């Protein structure tokens, strides 16, 4: 995601950040599919470069009858009407998106292969052996992302299926659970979640769902908040504007499509899980993940399953190689390490926020897992940070 601190505009032919008075370049933004992040990225570059950005047609997915200016940023998508209009324009055009089969305009797009690899690396790292790519409509974006996911899954040794949303209820019959499900986009991820819930498939205990594009207003309010890969759509708009500026200054068009790598996975509840074949153990693990910061005990964990505590403890250790108590304490210690590193909170406050209850218990458990006390751990972190700052200033 862009902000004013990491924007470095090098405007061809004039000093960065200096607006031209009088004859400002006129740039048209027309998006057949509106994404506010594309708009924001273009607008941020335009503001720094001193353009007169014309975006009145952007949100209504329309085109002016005639237009005279210096350059155009478009996302024509599958619309041949948009493509025909853009081809008649006398100004240079940069297109955003995946539909290079419809036009040969200079183009900036997301990096489907890196997106897919990020998803597969996540699933492999969490112990999954099966991967599903879920889709609804057969279009260019689906085809690119699915092909990339299949290549990454097969290279990582995972079994791979592509599954239409209508086929999700049949996943248990395939013997594929537990599995990682990568959706073509966040909208498909939401519908995949609903299909799982309707079929009685647990998310994330049996199916860990990962979307693409990280539309927060879709992902966060879902019945199980959806994890998603941030494909850096704002940077897509920004780099499209930067490319257009170079073209308007007379630079040659690039020989290849400019692909923007994803930022990372925004982790939410839908993938906050490890691959566990025993669904009761998965339920217990999910309860621990959701409640370890609270004052919970082993019997609370058992009540989240249909097993007795004794049976659950045995099966938990068989599948995960550690006890329930070790799982709880391990997560509490990891969270405490993060708070010690990133905050100045007192030890007793951190102990309460991590579920230890009191500082005495936290100090004892922390020392068992880390080999030092919380106070010494924080002191060593601060000393290392000061050394790094000192070395950077030399």
CA 380, CA 369: separation in Å to the nearest integer?
Answer: 16
Counting as low any pLDDT under 50, the low residues of the chain are 4-21
CA 183, CA 192: separation in Å to the nearest integer?
Answer: 8
Q: Which fold has domain 279-384?
A: Arc Repressor Mutant, subunit A (1.10.10)
Which residues, 6 or more positions from 371, have their beta carbon under 8 angstroms from its beta carbon?
none
For residue 27, give the nearest of 66, 59, 54, 50 by alpha carbon: 54
pLDDT at residue number 389: 62
Q: Tokens in use for 30? A: 């027309």
pLDDT at residue number 1: 56
For residue 74, give the nearest of 118, 26, 49, 42 by alpha carbon: 42
**Domain ranges for the chain:** 4-108+234-259, 112-231+266-271, 279-384
pLDDT at residue number 394: 58
Q: What is the DSSP string of 258-326?
A: EEEPP-EEE--GGG-S---SSHHHHHHHHHHHHHTTSS--HHHHHHTSSS-HHHHHHHHHHHHSS-HHH
pLDDT at residue number 9: 44
Q: Where are the alpha helices (DSSP H) in the chain?
A: 36-49, 80-88, 112-125, 140-155, 186-199, 216-219, 233-248, 279-291, 298-303, 309-320, 324-342, 347-353, 359-370, 374-393
pLDDT at residue number 174: 86
pLDDT at residue number 15: 39
Q: Tokens in use for 305? A: 């399953």
For residue 231, give the nearest of 160, 157, 141, 129 by alpha carbon: 141
If you average pLDDT over every residue of the chain, what do you get? 91
At residue 188's C-alpha, the angle toward residues 185 and 193, to 5°, is 125
- 3-class secondary-structure state, position 12: coil
Return the residue matching tokens 């505009």. 9
Stated as kind and residue range, the H or E segment containing 30 is: strand 26-31
- Would the CATH topology of 4-108+234-259 be identical to that of 112-231+266-271? yes
Q: Tokens in use for 325? A: 């108590």
Domain 112-231+266-271 has CATH 3.40.50.2300: yes
pLDDT at residue number 391: 64
Domain at 4-108+234-259, CATH homologous superfamily: Response regulator (3.40.50.2300)
């Amino acid at each position: 995601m862009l902000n004013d601190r990491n924007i470095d505009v090098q405007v061809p032919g004039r000093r960065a950040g200096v607006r031209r008075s009088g004859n400002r370049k006129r740039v048209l933004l027309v998006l057949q599919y509106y994404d506010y992040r594309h708009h924001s990225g273009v607008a941020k570059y335009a503001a720094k470069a001193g353009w007169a950005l014309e975006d009145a047609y952007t949100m209504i997915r329309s085109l002016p009858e005639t237009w005279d200016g210096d350059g155009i940023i478009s996302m024509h998508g599958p619309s041949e009407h948009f493509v025909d209009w853009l081809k008649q324009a006398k100004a240079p055009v940069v297109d955003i998106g995946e539909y290079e089969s419809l036009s040969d305009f200079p183009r900036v797009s997301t990096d489907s292969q890196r997106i897919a690899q990020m998803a597969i690396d996540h699933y492999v790292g969490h112990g999954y052996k099966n991967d599903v790519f879920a889709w609804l409509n057969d279009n260019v974006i689906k085809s690119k992302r699915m092909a990339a996911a299949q290549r990454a899954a097969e290279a990582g040794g995972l079994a791979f299926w592509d599954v239409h949303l209508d086929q999700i209820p049949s996943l248990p019959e395939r013997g594929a659970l537990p599995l990682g499900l990568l959706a073509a986009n966040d909208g498909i991820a939401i519908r995949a979640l609903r299909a799982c819930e309707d079929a009685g498939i647990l998310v994330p205990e049996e199916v860990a769902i990962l979307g693409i594009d990280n539309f927060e207003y879709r992902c966060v309010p879902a019945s199980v908040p959806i994890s998603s890969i941030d494909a850096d759509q704002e940077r897509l708009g920004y780099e499209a504007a930067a490319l257009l500026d170079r073209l308007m200054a007379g630079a040659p068009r690039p020989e290849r499509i400019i692909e923007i790598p994803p930022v990372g996975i925004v982790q939410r509840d839908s993938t906050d899980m490890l691959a566990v074949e025993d669904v009761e153990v998965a339920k217990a693990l999910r309860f621990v993940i959701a409640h370890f910061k609270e004052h919970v005990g082993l019997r609370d964990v058992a009540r989240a399953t249909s097993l007795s505590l004794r049976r659950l403890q045995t099966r938990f250790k068989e599948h995960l190689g550690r006890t329930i108590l070790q799982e709880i304490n391990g997560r509490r210690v990891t969270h405490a390490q993060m708070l010690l590193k990133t905050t100045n909170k007192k030890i007793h406050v951190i102990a309460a926020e991590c579920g230890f209850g009191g500082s005495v218990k936290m100090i004892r458990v922390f020392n068992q897992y880390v080999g030092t006390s919380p106070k010494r751990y924080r002191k060593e972190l601060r000393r290392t940070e000061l050394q790094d700052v000192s070395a950077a200033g030399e």
